Amino acid sequence: AQKVTQAQTEISVVEKEDVTLDCVYETRDTTYYLFWYKQPPSGELVFLIRRNSFDEQNEISGRYSWNFQKSTSSFNFTITASQVVDSAVYFCALSGITGNQFYFGTGTSLTVIP
């Protein structure tokens, strides 16, 4: 069965602090894909990153970085020097090799306080 767990329901940080959003997944597939999406108050899900199961190299994009560890089935997301505009709900998602059916976690609501 495919499952994504985001144990952190809500996080509040003060602007400029670093914050890490946790994502743990379960799958029996050997090939799979992991994603992070941002859902701001406007409601539209915004794609942030895709990772395939064969690529454990961490990635950095500006203030965003992702740590993928197959040994712990985790795909964590860190925002460095958080800003108020980062306030949103962040979803981690998993798909199988076809990339069709996505399994989303329940999301982490991040509030950045000015």
Binding site for another protein (CB under 8 A): 4, 33, 35, 37, 42-47, 50, 52, 91, 93, 95, 99-107
Cβ 24 to another protein shortest distance, Å: 14
Cβ 10 to another protein shortest distance, Å: 10
Q: Which residues contact 95 (CB under 8 A, 6 or more apart)?
A: 32, 33, 35, 101, 102, 103
Cβ 9 to another protein shortest distance, Å: 8
- Identify which of residues 71 and 100 has a Cβ nearer to another protein in the complex: 100
Contact 79, 63 (CB under 8 A): yes
- Identify which of residues 38 and 79 has a Cβ nearer to another protein in the complex: 38
Cβ 63 to another protein shortest distance, Å: 20
- Identify which of residues 39 and 80 has a Cβ nearer to another protein in the complex: 39
Amino acid at 94: L
- Identify which of residues 4 and 19 has a Cβ nearer to another protein in the complex: 4
**Is residue 71 helix, strand or coil?**
helix
| Bridge pairing between strands 102-104 and 108-113 | unpaired
Contact 93, 21 (CB under 8 A): no
